[in-house]
Amino acid sequence: MLKQRRLRWLGHVHRMDPDRLPGEVMLGQIAEAKRPVGRPFLRFKDSCKRDMNGFNIPSCSWEERAEMRPEWHRSLREGMIKHNELIRLDQLQQKRLRRAAGPPQESRHICDRCGRKCRSAIGLYSHHNRCRL
């Protein structure tokens, strides 16, 4: 949601008159500015480029899309849906892999009745209530 809002604000500022203060501050360059040694701090521009890559919006031609407000908002909505869907699917895949792997092999919580390995003490307690062997 934050990425979408950041890009919506970028499009809004881009459509503004260039003489207005938000456009000058956000999209302008500081004359003779030097950045510190090491990993530089992220600028607003850097964050927007990263967000555009995540939403599959080409960073070289975003200005043309931003000029047309409905198209810009549509591309942001579609990008957010695709981006969030990919993250959700990846999380589900990771959850499936963790489930398939089962409990850790070095589990200390082993049922004395059937030998089942549980992940936690509360899991073992719950299993004891159901275990009939």
Quick one: three-class SS letters along 29-51? Answer: CCCCCCCCCCCCCCCHHHHHHHH
Q: Using alpha carbons only, what angle is made at residue 29 by residues 24 and 31, rounded to the nearest 5 degrees?
A: 120
Which residues are 109's β-sheet partners?
118
- Computed from CA positions of residues 12, 13, 17, 22, in that sequence, does the dihedral angle turn out positive or negative? positive
8-18 pLDDT tens trace: 888 888 888 87
Residue 22 identity (one-letter amino acid): P
Please say if the pLDDT value at position 62 is more than 70.
yes
78-126 pLDDT tens trace: 888 887 788 888 999 999 998 888 766 677 888 988 988 888 889 899 9
- Chain-wide mean pLDDT for the chain? 82
Residue 100 CB: number of other CB atoms within 10 A?
7
What pLDDT does residue 118 have? 87
Question: Which of 22-26, 46-50, 96-100 is the least confident region?
Answer: 22-26
Please say if the pLDDT value at position 73 is more than 70.
yes
Averaged over 51-60, what is the pLDDT? 83
- Read off the pLDDT band of 27 (50, 70, 90): low
What pLDDT does residue 93 have? 93
* Domains in the chain: boundaries: 2-101, 104-133
**In degrees rounded to 5, what are phi and psi of residue 118?**
-115, 155
Shortest CA distance to 117 belongs to which of 125, 108, 126? Answer: 108
Q: Please answer whether residues 103 and 110 qualify as being in contact, where contact means their C-beta atoms are separated by less than 8 angstroms.
A: no
Please say if the pLDDT value at position 25 is more than 90.
no
